[in-house]
Amino acid sequence: MSATMIQVDAFVVPGSRGFSGNPAGVCLLDGAREDAWMQGVAAEMNLAETAFLRKRADGYDLRWFTPVVEVDLCGHATLASAHALWEQGLLGPDEPARFHTRSGLLTARACGEQIELDFPAEPAKATDPPADLLAGLGGVAVRRIARNRFDYLVELESEEAVRSLDPDFRTLRRLGERGVIATAQSDAGGFDFVSRFFAPACGIDEDPVTGSAHCCLGPWWSERLDRTEFVAFQASARGGVVRVKVNGNRVILGGEAITVFRAELLV
């Protein structure tokens, strides 16, 4: 059996020539592989996520691995997977991508330069903050704290407060949740809100751009800003742009992707 590996930058800043957004590995399989092998490949790639795709009659089986664990939902590696299938000619340009995942059926469609993902909404409910959360964020002043099935969401006072966070990742690792979303309404032109995402328990201190976090951020800001469509910026060192549309219990995530390299796995 062979496997092709494609590295894709997903949710890139529009107009960039790459090296923004979140890099994902996309591994195109021609047969079944053991979980340990996929985890080993993900550790070798050492990216936030590596996606593994296997063709089936009605689409593709899709699984996502960080360098240390398998995860239930990943936006940027799904966007990267759809981009790879269209670019490799495995799907027609007008054919939607259908992915069977641990979070159910996910679909993607090409819309010009953008790819749109149809994902489940993951709203957060208010919660009392555990001590490690506030300590891990350096005791920064917060407006609201909430939690969904994956992550804590912390709304801060300003965009600058989000950008200047300097977390203690060892402390955040003790929370026992997938990650922490820090967010604030944007005061810069062109964006509605900003965020950062920390997931040290999954082997990722800071994720460059996190599509699945916007499944939470979309409903959160829709309730507060009384709107359903947003342009969001994830303020990591690489930076990335996510377009968000809230549609009931679904969230449409839009972004651009660029292929960085293709390779053949020899092991």
- At residue 112, φ and ψ (nearest 5 deg) are 65, -130
**What sign for the dihedral angle of Cα 38, 39, 44, 45?**
positive
State the residue for tokens 């203690």: 168
Q: Which of 34, 44, 49, 177 is catalytic?
A: 49
User: Which residues sit opposite 142 in a β-bridge?
Assistant: 156
229 among known catalytic residues: no
Q: How far apart are CA 236 and CA 238, in angstroms?
A: 5
Three-state DSSP class for residue 115: strand
Which of these, 115, 149, 51, lies nearest to 253 by C-alpha position? 115
Q: What is the largest CA-CA distance in the chain?
A: 53
- The first and second tokens of residue 27, run together, are 């591994």
Three-state DSSP class for residue 11: coil
Q: How far apart are CA 156 and CA 142, in angstroms?
A: 5
State the residue for tokens 């965009």: 159
Q: How far apart are CA 240 and CA 208, in angstroms?
A: 7
- Share in percent of the chain as helix, strand, coil (round to 5): 20, 45, 35
**Inter-residue contact 241 to 251 (CB < 8 Å):** no
Query: Which residues does the annotation mark as catalytic?
Result: 49
